[in-house]
Amino acid sequence: MNNLEIPAETTPEFTSTSETSLLVVIVDSNPSQKMLRDNPHVLTHCVDSVIAFANSHLMQKAQNKLAVMACHSKTSEFIYPGPNKPLDVRQIDGQYEVFTAVEKTIKHNLAKLLANEKSTLVTESLLAGAIAMALCYIARIQRTKPPGCRLNSRILVVTGSGDSASQYMNYMNVFFTAQKQGIVIDVCALDQHLSLLQQGCDITGGLYLKVPQLQGLLQYLLWVFLPEPPIRQKLVLPPPVKVDYRAACFCHRELIDIGYVCSVCLSIFCKFSPICTTCHTVFKIPGPLAVKSKKKKIKL
Amino acid sequence: MVDEEEQKEYRWETGYEKTWEAIKEDDDGFLEASVADIIQRAKRKRQAQKQGNSKLGMMRHLYVILDCSDSMSSQDLKPTRLLCTVKIMENFIEEFFDQNPISQMGIIIMHNKRAEKISDLAGNARKHIKAINNLKQTSLIGEPSLQNSLEMALRALKLLPSHASREILVVMGSLTTCDPGDINTTILNLKSEGVRCSVIGLAAEVHVCRRLANETGGLYNVILDDCHFKDLLYQQVDPPPAALTLESNLIKMGFPHQMSVEGTEEPLTMCMCHVDSTDEGSKLNTGGYYCPQCYSKYCELPVECRACGLTLVSAPHLARSYHHLFPAANYDEITYENQTVICFACQKNFSETDKQVYRCPNCTKIFCINCDIFVHDILHTCPGCATNLSTFQIAHNTTQ
């Protein structure tokens, strides 16, 4: 007992009461993603793991805050805390009431969302939009927090769908916003390798993990994503992978080493072309020779 | 394209600048609330003018000309004009390179009737911030010379390739300038070279500054207080519309990546950026970016290769500038009549106090005022559009 009391007394007050961690979990529950089409029961397993993980986050500190979002191809919604007023729960089996409320709210709202989902076979989940909503939510919590309080926010994306280049601009906007606001984006890939989201993790300083075994999802979540970012450097976590930041050209979507960039709209091309296909600008000087002579002038 | 017609309006005839009408004392006799209101309204107005699909000068080359004359020691900005300017300038430089990663900036100071270049055109924010911080120790003496400084900036900007957008930003505290010749010829030269000159006055309107800005298509503003100063300076962060004379060009660029051969460690090498610098010595290390053309190593991007002159960038650097070209659609202001219970993005419950809500024209989702500002100032992506399959590419498609 003595051992328990001493740290409580020695920890300075400001670290324990004035620091809050807000975790926003984005669960990709799009029923048409490949992983769920093959085996729909996986979703139950994933949601259970996420709920257990979310409760562990709340358990770490009384001030910790949580929000959970579900992401589909047509819409994204906050499933905890939901738009309705919080559920009235009584203690069951001695479980902390908040945990019961988290589990019930998430399952209730998710069921409602899935029931409304019309069976359109769109495999793409719009994760960039969901992250954008999460950033707005975090910005509001940041605005309304009591003065003198510090808020550390992070976003965890749990998804089984792939990322497509069509969302590229939205992805980049949310990554740079998160970087500016000091929000860490973690990504837990369940099925496919996600190169764009991996770039986002690298930009914001988060962790990217492709889960090798879906059965052990909770284990991975608890070991890798539960510790706060400042603590992570003291742990032995999966080593960061080198991220390929090469650009893909707009004409053939191939990764290139040396390319041509339109000075008006910054479109990237792998070969010189006299007209920009994005902004229809006509380029004046044909041939790279003229460009080279201009380059020399800068150095003078 | 920008309308390069000369504005014949005087300052006191323009809408926004009727400052004495806009400024009203609040109940306690303070002016702060109305100043904040002016800034807020100007922000929304500017936002409304922003349109996608216009040609912008993305590769900016900006010379900042700072007044370091006697008049900058005046204490109307706290603690002094110079210290306040240095402080705001530091943040501005960071923001500028954050939003315009492939642009370059240089700083010239004017004091004692001379112009002095304290940092050359370069794309490294840290170097400029260091240079501007050293200004705190400068002695503020003599009169400034606008002409000398403009000529110095022009000499450097003249040499740039034709696709580069050339800009000068003058921060002027003094009401006078001491010039060796006729400044009108300098202004004409600037105009013919397509250099856009903007002036921020710290004291009062000066005719020659107004003329300079009008002739060259820049902005001229006089500050009200330090907040307004900051706001005016931050207007310069957004790239200006491309001048008519600006040529378009395809620029050859390199996208370096780390050299990694499976199973082997990278060799220890020195980077080209620090190899001959005296204050920060170069260190031997393994990581780095290699120029795809000549394999020189650099420790940070973006940079111009010193060996072969290729501009080296990474794809996210280019992506960082895309939001200027494809901004989020402006929301319509509508009165709140219980259209929805919560703000779509931040989940805030609307209450009696929310008289105005904001609706996105593409996805028709409703947002609160704070989200409106957040989305257009920082995020540049509408959360409503980005979460719906039928709308998430609208901003992109309009340009195709």
CA distance A122 to B291: 41
Q: What's the CA angle centered on B45, arms B44 and B49, to 5 degrees?
A: 115
The set of residues, in sequence order, having a beta carbon less than 8 Å from that of B75 and lying 6+ positions away, is B81
Of A133, A140, A180, the CB nearest to B370: A140
pLDDT tens, residue by residue, A242-260? 777 777 787 777 778 888 8
CA distance B383 to A174: 10
All residues of chain B having their beta carbon less than 8 Å from the beta carbon of residue A241 are: none
Q: Choose among B392, B328, B379, B336: nearest CA to A136.
A: B379
CA distance B365 to B375: 13
Percentage of chain A lying above the pLDDT 90 cut: 31
All residues of chain B having their beta carbon less than 8 Å from the beta carbon of residue A268 are: 253, 315, 318
CA distance B193 to B164: 12
pLDDT at residue B211, rounded to an integer: 93
pLDDT at residue B240, rounded to an integer: 82
CA distance B393 to B386: 8
What's the DSSP call for residue B181?
A: S
Torsion of CA B8, B10, B11, B14, to 10 degrees: -70
What's the DSSP call for residue A145?
A: S
Per-position pLDDT tens, chain B of length 400: 344 444 555 555 555 555 555 556 656 666 665 666 666 666 666 666 665 556 677 788 999 999 999 999 998 888 899 999 999 999 999 989 888 888 889 999 998 899 999 998 888 888 899 999 999 888 888 899 999 999 999 999 988 887 788 899 999 999 999 999 999 999 999 999 889 999 999 999 999 999 999 999 899 999 988 888 998 998 898 888 776 666 777 888 888 876 655 556 667 777 777 776 666 666 777 777 888 888 888 877 788 888 888 888 888 888 888 888 778 888 888 888 888 888 898 888 888 777 778 888 888 889 988 888 889 888 888 998 888 877 776 544 443 3
CA distance B194 to B57: 12
pLDDT tens, residue by residue, B35-62? 666 666 666 666 666 655 566 777 889 9
Task: Kindly tell me the burial class for residue A98, based on how many C-beta atoms sit within 10 Å of its own C-beta (0-12, 13-18, 19 or more).
Answer: middle
| A51-64 b/e (C-beta count within 10 Å ≥ 16 → b) | bbbbbebbeeeeeb
- pTM (two decimals): 0.80
Of A172, A269, A279, the CB nearest to B319: A172
Asked if the Cβ–Cβ distance from A169 to B249 is below 8 Å, we say: no
Helix (H, G, I), strand (E, B) or coil at A79: strand
Picking from B56, B261, B342, B379 by the largest number of A CB atoms within 10 A of its own CB, the best residue to mutate is B379
- Quick one: closest CA in B to A294, which residue? B161
β-sheet bridge partners, residue B317: none
ipTM of predicted assembly, 2 dp = 0.82
Band of the pLDDT at A153, cuts 50, 70, 90?
very high
All residues of chain A having their beta carbon less than 8 Å from the beta carbon of residue B391 are: none
All residues of chain A having their beta carbon less than 8 Å from the beta carbon of residue B321 are: 266
Q: Choose among A201, A43, A62, A180: nearest CA to A127.
A: A201
Q: Does the pLDDT of residue A157 top 90, yes or no?
A: yes
- Quick one: closest CA in B to A274, which residue? B250
The set of residues, in sequence order, having a beta carbon less than 8 Å from that of A69 and lying 6+ positions away, is A24, A25, A26, A27, A76, A77, A78, A79, A130, A133, A134
Of A266, A272, A281, the CB nearest to B318: A266
pLDDT tens, residue by residue, A73-84? 888 889 988 777
Residue type, B119: S
Question: Are B81 and B202 a contacting pair, CB within 8 Å?
Answer: yes
Picking from A72, A266, A276, A293 by the largest number of B CB atoms within 10 A of its own CB, the best residue to mutate is A266
pLDDT at residue B64, rounded to an integer: 95
Q: Angle of helix B183-192 relative to helix B207-216, nearest 10 degrees?
A: 20
All residues of chain A having their beta carbon less than 8 Å from the beta carbon of residue B254 are: 257-258
pLDDT tens, residue by residue, B314-339? 888 888 888 887 788 888 888 888 88
Asked if the Cβ–Cβ distance from B257 to A257 is below 8 Å, we say: yes
All residues of chain A having their beta carbon less than 8 Å from the beta carbon of residue B261 are: none
DSSP assignment of A188-213: EESSS--HHHHHHHHHHT--EEE-S-
